Amino acid sequence: MEKKNDKIDLLHQQLINEITPEQKQELTSWKRMHPNNGDLLQTLQRIELSPEITANGEEMRESILTDINRRIDKLIYRKIRIRIVSIAASILFLVSTGIYLSYFFEKPDVEIALLELQNNTQSISSIILSDSTKVSLNVGSTLFYPEKFTAKSRNVQVEGEAFFQVTHNPEHPFVVNTKAVKVQVFGTKFNIKTNNQNDRVEVTLLQGSLGVHADTAQVMLEPGEQAVFNESIHSLSKKKVDTSLYLAWYNNKFHFKNETLENIARQLEQNFNIQICITPERLKYKTFTGDFHSEEKLEEILHIITFGEKTGYTIESSQVHIFEK
Average pLDDT over residues 213-239: 92
Task: Report the Cα 256 to chain-centroid distance in Å.
Answer: 30
- In the predicted structure, residue 4 carries a pLDDT above the cut 50: no
- Bridge partner residues of 174 (DSSP): 154, 185
Question: CA-CA distance, 322 to 320, in Å (whole number)?
Answer: 7
Task: Report the Cα 84 to chain-centroid distance in Å.
Answer: 32
Q: Estimate the crossing angle of helix 35-45 against helix 2-15, to 10 degrees.
A: 30
Q: What is the pLDDT of residues 73-122, one digit of tens each?
A: 444 434 333 333 333 444 343 433 333 333 333 333 444 578 999 998 88
**Which stretch of 46-50, 135-139, 224-228 has the lowest confidence by average pLDDT?**
46-50
Q: What's residue 123's pLDDT?
A: 86
Q: What's residue 134's pLDDT?
A: 96
Q: What's residue 135's pLDDT?
A: 96
Q: What is the pLDDT of residues 146-178, one digit of tens each?
A: 999 988 999 999 999 999 999 999 899 999 999
Torsion of CA 98, 103, 109, 110, to 10 degrees: 40
Work out the number of other CB atoms within 10 angstroms of the CB of residue 212. Answer: 25
Confidence of residue 136 (pLDDT cuts 50, 70, 90): very high
Average pLDDT over residues 33-51: 57
Q: What's residue 234's pLDDT?
A: 87
Confidence of residue 315 (pLDDT cuts 50, 70, 90): very high
Confidence of residue 205 (pLDDT cuts 50, 70, 90): very high
Question: CA-CA distance, 35 to 89, in Å (whole number)?
Answer: 13
Average pLDDT, the chain: 77
Confidence of residue 16 (pLDDT cuts 50, 70, 90): low
The helix/strand/coil state of 3 is helix
Confidence of residue 22 (pLDDT cuts 50, 70, 90): confident
The residue with greater pLDDT, 52 or 258, is 258
Question: CA-CA distance, 156 to 224, in Å (whole number)?
Answer: 23
**Which stretch of 32-41, 86-95, 179-188, 274-283 has the lowest confidence by average pLDDT?**
86-95
CA distances from residue 153 to 175, 230, 266 in whole angstroms, order as listed: 7, 26, 34
Work out the number of other CB atoms within 10 angstroms of the CB of residue 57. Answer: 18
